[in-house]
Amino acid sequence: MNKIAIIGGSGFVGTRLIELLNRESGMQLKNIDKQPSRFHPEITSIANVLDRDALVPVLRGADAVVLLAAEHRDDVSPVSLYYDVNVQGMRNVLSAMEEAGVRRIVFTSSVAVYGLNKPNPNEEYPTDPFNHYGKSKWQTEEVLREWHDSHSDWNINILRPTVIFGERNRGNVYNLLKQISGGRFLMVGSGTNKKSMAYVGNVVALIRYLLDEQKERYNVYNYADKPDFNMNELVAHVGKVLNKHIPATHFPYWLGMLAGYGFDALALVTRRKLPISSVRVKKFCATTEFDASKVHSSGFKAPYSLGEGLERTLTYEFTHENPDDITFVTE
């Protein structure tokens, strides 16, 4: 197996995955995306998962597909886009793969399928998504499960990562690290809630591992770097890496939610996307801890510890002058 089609490879995870796979001798890669790639235009074909017929010719000859394309922000409008792109997009990809003769897929789902404040769920835990993104990801997994029921010779690997962070990413973890490092951080709640996170270098290494080692059947894996940090530990680690004293003033949860609702109203009136909302306050204060023991006992070895991933990100973003301003906006 050396011909890999990556759908949605122009984004944050896809760019890092292509960089990793490009280092493998004999690997032939194709990026299929609705957007051009700022780093790998020479292997990029423009196509949309909403256009099934356009996918068929660019998938021909591939040994496996990695599907990264998704609608994932908290504020996608209209909400039907979550289901059009994530769910119907999967149906289109599977149909195009079947016509193109490709029978292996690695799909990046999300721990959002479990919902909020669940007690360290593993892969067998009941799903209970609380937002449209999580609901659409779960429906997409159901499409895959039903497909495998009638295509038992296919190899389907589903990866459920927690929030992914890393160099060049502009998402919730980056915003949090920026606030902490800049001394503008307000701790809502006690700070003892744990936050499972995943460094992008480990996520792409896991995708590579699944392509190499999990070539049969239907498999589902949570992914988070272990052990988890709680919010107080995260603040302390940022201070240690940046050699700063980081003051953290604690505010009660009810006050944080009240502020979030105020920003919701302001966003509605101004029709602007604001960095604070009730959903983001709720996510911040939630315990988002996930059991990833299945994948960590499978033979996969993460190249970086969580602390190392955070250090690499903090150093790149806040202590070095970077050669360009190319970034990727996610949640």
Alpha helices in 7-131 (DSSP H): 12-22, 52-59, 80-81, 89-100
Distance between CA atoms of residues 109 and 113, nearest Å: 8
Distance between CA atoms of residues 118 and 175, nearest Å: 24
The amino acid occupying position 139 is: Q
Question: Between the CA of residue 72 and those of 110, 171, 184, what are the distances in Å?
Answer: 10, 11, 27
Distance between CA atoms of residues 31 and 42, nearest Å: 9
Task: Determine the angle formed by the axes of helices 278-285 and 172-181, rounding to 10 degrees.
Answer: 80
Distance between CA atoms of residues 106 and 108, nearest Å: 7
Distance between CA atoms of residues 148 and 97, nearest Å: 13
The reply to whether omega before 227 is within 30° of 0 (cis) is yes
Q: Are strands 163-165 and 197-199 parallel, antiparallel or unpaired?
A: parallel
Distance between CA atoms of residues 325 and 331, nearest Å: 19
**Residues belonging to the active site:** 133
Contact 272, 285 (CB under 8 A): no
Contact 237, 198 (CB under 8 A): no
Where does 78-180 show beta strands of DSSP type E?
104-108, 155-161, 163-165, 169-170
The secondary structure of 233-272 as a DSSP string is HHHHHHHHHHT-----EEE-HHHHHHHHHHHHHHHHHHT-
